[in-house]
């Protein structure tokens, strides 16, 4: 069987690594209930993809409590499923929004979250 990760794009490898980490984390939480794991994963991916445009728009407007709250909410969901890359981007957004970071810095963090969510979804959809 070929090693698709070795020949795929860096984004796909990142998405594959994210998905593997999320699946491992959820297996620790849910045991061998594959149906439940699949449901949790699908719900998280939908949430992350739905929240990413909101984060991008809010980040472009500059620091705000609304941005901090949205980032905090997605960060919690990401940590619950083990999506560390998304959680890290959300942490940067939340801290930047509350600490008065510039719009460019906030947009960069929001773009990281959006890209990570898209990569995770793409790899998941490709399974």
List alpha helices for the chain, DSSP H. 4-7, 10-30, 34-60, 65-81, 84-99, 103-125
- CA 35 to CA 61: how far, in whole Å? 40
- pLDDT given at position 52: 96
- CA 112 to CA 85: how far, in whole Å? 8
Q: Residue 5's pLDDT band (boundaries 50, 70, 90)? A: very low
The pair of structure tokens assigned to 51 is 């929240």
Cα maximum dimension of the chain: 50
The pair of structure tokens assigned to 16 is 């594959």
The pair of structure tokens assigned to 9 is 């794009």
| pLDDT value at 27 more than 70 | yes
pLDDT tens track for 88-109: 999 999 999 999 999 999 999 9
pTM score: 0.86
Q: What is the dotted CATH code of the domain comprising 10-125?
A: 1.20.120
- pLDDT given at position 9: 52
């Amino acid at each position: 069987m070929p090693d698709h990760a070795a020949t795929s794009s860096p984004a796909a490898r990142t998405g594959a690594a994210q998905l593997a980490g999320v699946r491992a984390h959820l297996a620790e939480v849910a045991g061998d209930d594959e149906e439940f794991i699949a449901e949790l994963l699908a719900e998280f991916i939908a949430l992350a993809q739905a929240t990413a445009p909101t984060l991008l728009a809010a980040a472009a407007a500059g620091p705000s409590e609304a941005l901090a709250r949205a980032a905090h909410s997605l960060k919690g969901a990401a940590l619950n499923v083990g999506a560390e890359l998304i959680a890290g981007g959300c942490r940067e957004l939340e801290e930047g929004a509350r600490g008065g970071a510039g719009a460019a810095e906030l947009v960069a963090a929001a773009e990281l979250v959006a890209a990570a969510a898209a990569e995770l979804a793409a790899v998941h959809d490709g399974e």
